[in-house]
Chain A
């Protein structure tokens, strides 16, 4: 199986979010960039399965739509253990453009992993859109992945439970928490090897955005927390009923 993992380049999870003066764009000054958390977990799990099942996974490629500054993120994915990286040289304007630009480069893969969302715009879109463009099945809510008898088996979360699901190849899995425990950290050897691994830059086809952000707001400031003493549990519960009216 040839595996492709979509890699989002997102602000570090502790980033303090700021916008430009007209509130129309995210202010990237001083931001640290990381691999989108779910994508990193998918990559980790693919590597674990590749190592545990000799020959079942032939190669792992990572792909990103982004400008040259996202290469550090792709190099990190290579350092963690991916074999090859592809960067489509365009701005990721919206999910539809990202999926459209990726689609022509995805046809040779048997198994594609996409994170459930990117932690910046929380779009929940690129993976399933890409699957539709490729006309292949997709499985949502994937929290487990294994290879049994040479075939991929997935665990997915559904409302009220979970299921074990098999699918014919090629298939796209939309990955969430649970697929791997902790993301793998690049070792020194991995970092050295990443320098020599192929990072292919390809020119984008044309794609037109279907959505945009007109403006952003910061959430309204919260009122100060009303504190009660350790002995005042009853008072707090009463306040929830009589004041906040949520009980």
Chain B
């Protein structure tokens, strides 16, 4: 019996979320007295797979079939079910791929499934694990009633922890053939040179209080200085000021960075639903009564357009040392 982590890759490269997942699987396996194994699907670059050894993974099972790059949920679930035949727990990333594959895998394995867990189980028997419910308004202690379990791990909830071990990479045949891949990807558009919002440790976000899309320049500048991702409230993406992929909140992305800057965001309950898991929230808003201040740790009652350049200067100074 083992704990299996399905490590996502972006064109053969493992991102932070993959190493966080490896760290989580290692810690969970240790708690359960099991072995942590990683499964990777699709072609991988250079020595990417060996990197998993740094986070406690001693064995990697790799099916290099290039068709896995199509992200066909049904095929991936079938492949993982083969790899996980002997596993007790399978963990996946809480990204769109993980959300699409994990529930399918749970059905295949006869396993119970809990999504977006925020840490290690509080108890193994019974298997109790915490997750956010009611979009951030409560924490649920979810219990899985079956012998096998499938989980997705919420981003940035566990952290990346080094624990170097010797790693062996083994080719494995997942049993998927060309006929298992039925999706036809016609076009791919990449967002380049930017920090992935769901993975970002710092997020700089703007709301309707920023007034117009032109005013996003200082937001982007601050984000770039901090190595941060940019985000926005719903009306901002609805207006087309910013792309939909940046919309955070109940109906957008749910994020949990270490630091979240909210410029000109009122802090409506639906917005907070997506960002209240942030460790530290900084709000800049003209209105001292704005609900964002109830959720914020630090704040300035003032004009975001005036404060942003000051922040940029202060960060530049800090960086100079």
Contact = CB atoms under 8 A, between A and B. Distances in A.
Nearest to A218: B138
B72 A122 contact: no
B300 A227 contact: yes
Contact of B100 (A174, A211, A216, A225): A174
B74 A161 contact: no
Interface residues of B, number: 98
B36 interface: no
Interface stretch (A55-63, A68-76, A78-86, A164-172): A164-172
Contact of A13 (B112, B144, B269, B293): B269
Contacts of A162: 188-189, 245
Interface stretch (A105-113, A185-193, A194-202, A237-245): A237-245
A19 B258 CA distance: 29
Interface residues of A, number: 89
Main secondary structure of the interface of A (DSSP, over half): mixed
A199 B279 CA distance: 46
B280 to A, nearest CB: 5
Interface string B160-196: 0000000000000000000000111111111100001
B135 interface: yes
B247 interface: yes
B165 to A, nearest CB: 27
A143 B245 CA distance: 9
B311 A128 contact: no
A1 B88 CA distance: 40
Interface string B140-166: 111111100000100000000000000
Contact of B96 (A159, A214, A236, A244): A159
Interface string B89-126: 00000111101111110111001111110000000001
Given A161-B188, A247-B259, A124 B300 contact: no
Contacts of A240: 259, 280, 282, 298
